[in-house]
Every structure is written in C-alpha cells, then in structure tokens.
C-alpha cells in the first residue's frame, strides 16, 4: 500500500497568537478580556469579507472565566455587525455540529480544553465545523495587530440571541449513527467521568438514551474542576478506575477532557487504555466497515494504528501534528476515519472534528456487536512502547538544528520523513525529533516494540540533538 503525497501541506509562517488549538493562556494574564475583544473584532472584520449576513455560534466549556471571555469576544463580533447565537455551556463537538445544523457562517468555542482551571482560550471554527487553520488565522491575526477593524455603523451593530438546543441536536445525531438496538440489547454498564467539564451536559444523558446502566462521576458543571484537572491522564482518573473496579463485571469507564472532544477508556479490569489503542481498535472497525479506505493521523501516532489499518486493507496518511490539520486533510482526501493518539477520534460520517461522545457511542456499538469486552478488543491491537523526552534549544537555533539533523540522517542513509519535524524510520522502531512551536525545546518521541529499545533510541537521538545544538 503506498502512502499519498504530503506535498500539499502549507502551514505558512506560524501565527503569533494562534497555536495548533487556538489561542490559550492564563485568565486575566495572557487570556484577558482585551485580547478576547480584539480577537472578536478581528474575526468579525475578517468575516465581513463575505457579503452575506454573518451569523456566528459561540459556546463554552465550564471554566469560571467563560462569561468574561465570551462576552468580551462577542462584543467585538457585534461591533463589526455580526449576529451572535450564544449556546451556553456545551461540548466543543456539539457546537461544531450546530454550526452545520443552523447553517451558521462560523463558530467560536471559549475553552482551554484539558489545560488547568486558571487557563482559558478561543478556538475559531469554519462553516464546515472544522477548527480554522494557519492561513485564515494568519489573516485574522494580521487584522488584530494592525487594528484595521471594520466597525459597523450605529444602526448595523449585531444582535445576540440564545439557543440551547445544540446538545440535544448533537445527541440525536450520534444516536442516528450507531446501532441503537444492538447497544440497548447489550445494556452495557458505563462509569462516566465528566471532569466537571462540558461533557457533564451531554455524556450521562447520551449514555442513558443508548440504554446503558450509567454511573456518573463529577457530572456537575464546575469551572473550578474540584475533582481533578480536566486532562484525562491516568493519574487524574484514580476515582474512575476505582469505581470501575468496584462495579466489577463488564463495566467500563470513560473520561472526557474539559471540552469533551476527547474520550479515554478504562477496561473492565480497571486498566487505563491509552488513546492510541482506542484509535487503532476503532480504525480497524471503520476500515473493515468501509472495505478499505484512507485513514489520516498525525506523524506522532503509534505504529499500532498503521498495523491494524493495513491489516484491514486500508491506507494511512500522516499529517503534521494538530487535530484541525488532520480534520482538513480528511475532508480533502475523503478519508473514512482519522484522529489523534490522545483520544481525539474523528468520524466523517458525523463531522470533521474530534468527538468524545461519538467515540464513546462507537466503542459501545463495537462491543455490543462483536460480543467482546473492551479488554479483549484492545488485546487485538499490537503493543509498542513510546518514550518521550525533550532537549532545551534556544529559539534562534531551532531551524538550523533541524536542518543539520536531517542532513546527518540523510548522510547515514536512514529513511526520513519531514512532514512535521524529522521522523526517522529505523529497523527496530522510529524516532520523531520536533521543535516545539511555543517553547524553547525539541521534543523527541521514540517508539519500539519493547520499552528498553525505545529508551535506548531515545537516549541515542537525544544525545545527537544535544551535540548538534552545542556545535551550532
Ligand atoms: Mg479538548
């Protein structure tokens, strides 16, 4: 199976404001109302390029600063003549689905996803429901910095209205895309940890309607995130793991991040299932269902996903890191499935964005129809060992270091991909060396069949990058 070309990627100059997942920072420090207002003004001005009436959907996760950031941002939009529909608190994928449902011209999500409670952020969304990427964001950023805002006349400023049907519409859309009867018949027991985030207004209700026996944890929306930080890491899910073990039998656990676009699973024996395993087991199912097709993921994803996709007759396309890039490429190439290794799964039959609730429903469907437990399904995915490390590197040395690393690898005759950073393919695994977009570091990921080889590769290539940095 040949890989498709990646030559069409053009991320351009990295924006200064927007990272791979929008703008984020500490509330009232980096993420201030002034910044939110400025982004609202710039986004509204940019949207004005199209002549039609502009309708923008806005929603948020549960953070304490949600109203402060949201209304500052909305004020900017209204000032440029955009109308705003405020959807309140809802999962990011529910808002993204609503954009298509209401035929809106754009959307924005006030969220810092999995970041600590002190953070907040803004993600801008296209009419397709996909988060915006580099080129458009650079234009918006240029408007922001030049302050060339297109203020509306006093009689043309926008109006704000409220619509809270987004979660309902989203739940119905998910239910219509799974075998409801099969799940209801299996009557799975699910412990859901909503992390006090946006998933609290959706996941327990969806599970109930799917006919599950539901145990809800941290299902009160609370922006202080009193239970644990809203990142579904193993160390944050002790309560969920204990609860799954207490329930016993075939009960599984599910955890969302703060804006519920990701889902992490706990198998019936209380084991934490890493996101790459979930991605692989759903990928196997989607490729089989479609009798082949294209699967898209970021270059950092585990080989276990490629293994199962190829085994089922599918094709793999790697992209730069960042779920909006994966989603855009999926749409462009008509992929049947895609996602990231962090529990962010993208189902084109519903929409082109990471979707925590859809991932949950699909896993329950796969379990119900196969008659297998989650542990059994996960065991069908090969296991690899990933080691992550980093090396300090001053900003001004990053590009030269990367180029030197690439040329040295080429001299050694090692196969290398430069989709994002430099990924070397070795006989016993792979290593990805990638400069961080925001910090003065190189991240080094190494993967092999066993932990010892993975660690050795990590040490070897860490030293190599350190040597290059010292020489430059
Ligand atoms: Mg998220």
Q: Among 460, 436, 456, 434, which Cα is nearest to 445's?
A: 434
How many other C-beta atoms lie within 10 A of the C-beta of residue 226? Answer: 10
Examine the residue annotation and report whether 113 is marked as an active-site residue of this protein: yes
CA of 173 to the centre of ligand 1 (A): 20
- pLDDT single digits (tens) 126-135: 999 999 988 8
Predicted local confidence at residue 385, as pLDDT: 96
CA of 27 to the centre of ligand 1 (A): 17
212 pLDDT more than 50: yes
CA of 193 to the centre of ligand 1 (A): 14
CA of 262 to the centre of ligand 1 (A): 6
Joined together, the tokens standing for residue 272 give 């934490």
CA of 24 to the centre of ligand 1 (A): 12
Predicted local confidence at residue 437, as pLDDT: 75
CA of 22 to the centre of ligand 1 (A): 11
Residues 6+ apart with CB under 8 A from 260: 61, 91, 92, 93, 94, 194, 197, 198, 199, 202, 203, 356, 357
Predicted local confidence at residue 49, as pLDDT: 83
- Looking at the chain, the whole-number percentage of residues with pLDDT higher than 90 is 92
Q: What is the mean pLDDT of residues 337-356?
A: 97
400 pLDDT more than 80: yes
52 pLDDT more than 70: no
Q: What is the mean pLDDT of residues 137-160?
A: 95
Three-class secondary structure of residue 397 per DSSP: helix
Joined together, the tokens standing for residue 101 give 């449902």
CA distances from 285 to 253, 262, 367, 372 (A): 20, 19, 11, 13
- pLDDT single digits (tens) 264-280: 999 999 999 999 999 99
Predicted local confidence at residue 12, as pLDDT: 44
- pLDDT single digits (tens) 383-394: 999 999 999 999
Q: Are 200 and 194 in contact (CB under 8 A)?
A: yes
β-pairing, 272-273 with 263-266?
Answer: antiparallel
Joined together, the tokens standing for residue 149 give 């805002």
- pLDDT single digits (tens) 216-255: 999 999 999 999 999 999 999 999 999 999 998 999 999 9
2 pLDDT more than 50: no
Predicted local confidence at residue 9, as pLDDT: 38
Residues 6+ apart with CB under 8 A from 142: none
- pLDDT single digits (tens) 93-133: 999 999 999 999 999 999 999 999 999 999 999 999 999 98
CA of 306 to the centre of ligand 1 (A): 24
156 pLDDT more than 90: yes
CA of 108 to the centre of ligand 1 (A): 14
CA of 286 to the centre of ligand 1 (A): 23
CA of 96 to the centre of ligand 1 (A): 13
CA of 398 to the centre of ligand 1 (A): 28
3-class DSSP string for 367-431: HHHHCCCHHHHHHCCCCCEEEEEEEECCHHHHHHHHHHHHHHHHHCCCCEECCCCEEEEECCEEE
What are the beta bridge partners of residue 96? none
- pLDDT single digits (tens) 9-26: 343 444 478 877 789 999
CA of 260 to the centre of ligand 1 (A): 6
Q: What is the mean pLDDT of residues 43-52?
A: 84
Predicted local confidence at residue 51, as pLDDT: 55
CA of 100 to the centre of ligand 1 (A): 20
- Given the residues 113, 134, 302, 323, the one annotated as active site: 113
Predicted local confidence at residue 172, as pLDDT: 98
Predicted local confidence at residue 153, as pLDDT: 95
Banded model confidence at residue 53, pLDDT cuts 50, 70, 90: low
Average pLDDT over the chain reads 94
The model carries a pTM of: 0.93
How many other C-beta atoms lie within 10 A of the C-beta of residue 441? Answer: 16
Q: Are 166 and 90 in contact (CB under 8 A)?
A: yes
CA of 291 to the centre of ligand 1 (A): 30
Helix locations, 102-149, DSSP H: 134-146
Q: What is the mean pLDDT of residues 363-385?
A: 97
Residues 307, 269: Cα–Cα separation, whole Å: 26
Predicted local confidence at residue 22, as pLDDT: 85
Residues 6+ apart with CB under 8 A from 390: 436, 441, 442, 443, 444
β strands within 64-152, DSSP E: 83-89, 106-110, 119-125
């Amino acid at each position: 199976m040949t890989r498709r070309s990646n030559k069409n990627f053009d991320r351009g100059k990295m924006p200064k404001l927007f990272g791979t997942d929008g703008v984020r920072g500490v509330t009232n420090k980096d993420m201030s109302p002034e910044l939110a207002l400025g982004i609202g003004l710039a986004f509204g001005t940019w949207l004005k390029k199209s002549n039609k009436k502009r309708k923008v959907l806005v929603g948020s996760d549960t953070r304490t600063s949600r109203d402060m950031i949201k209304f500052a941002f909305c004020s900017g939009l209204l000032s440029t003549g955009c109308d705003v529909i405020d959807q309140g608190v809802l999962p990011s994928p529910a808002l993204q689905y609503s954009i298509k449902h209401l035929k809106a011209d754009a959307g924005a999500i006030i969220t810092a996803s999995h970041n600590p409670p002190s953070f907040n952020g803004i993600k801008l969304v296209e009419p397709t429901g996909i988060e915006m990427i580099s080129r458009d964001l650079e234009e918006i950023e240029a408007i922001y910095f030049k302050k060339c805002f297109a203020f509306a006349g006093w009689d043309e400023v926008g109006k704000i209205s409220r619509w809270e049907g987004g979660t309902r519409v989203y739940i119905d859309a998910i239910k219509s895309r799974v075998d409801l009867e099969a799940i209801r018949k299996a009557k799975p027991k699910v412990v859901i940890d909503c992390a006090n985030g946006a998933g609290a207004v959706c996941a327990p209700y969806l599970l109930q309607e799917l006919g599950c026996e539901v145990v809800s944890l941290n299902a009160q929306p609370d922006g202080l995130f009193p239970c644990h930080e809203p990142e579904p890491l193993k160390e944050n899910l002790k309560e969920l793991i204990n609860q799954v073990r207490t329930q016993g039998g075939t009960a599984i656990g599910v955890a969302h991040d703060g804006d519920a676009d990701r889902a992490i699973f706990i198998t019936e024996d209380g084991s934490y299932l890493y996101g790459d395993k979930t991605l692989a087991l759903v990928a196997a199912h989607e490729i089989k269902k479609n009798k082949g097709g294209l699967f898209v993921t970021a270059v950092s994803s585990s080989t276990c996903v490629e293994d199962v996709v190829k085994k089922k007759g599918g094709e793999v396309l790697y992209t730069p890191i960042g779920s909006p890039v994966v989603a855009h490429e999926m749409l462009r190439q008509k992929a049947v499935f895609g996602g990231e290794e962090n529990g962010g799964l993208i189902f084109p039959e519903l929409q082109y964005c990471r979707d925590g609730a859809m991932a949950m429903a699909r896993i329950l469907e796969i379990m119900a129809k196969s008659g297998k437990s989650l542990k059994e399904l996960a065991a069908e995915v090969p296991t690899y060992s990933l080691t992550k490390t980093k090396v300090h590197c001053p900003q001004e040395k990053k590009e030269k270091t990367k180029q030197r690393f690439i040329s040295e690898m080429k001299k050694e005759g090692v196969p290398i991909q430069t989709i994002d950073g430099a990924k070397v393919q070795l006989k016993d695994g792979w290593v990805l060396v990638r400069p961080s977009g925001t910090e003065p570091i190189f991240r080094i990921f190494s993967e092999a069949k066993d932990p010892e080889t993975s660690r050795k590769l990590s040490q070897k290539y860490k030293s190599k990058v350190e040597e290059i940095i010292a020489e430059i």
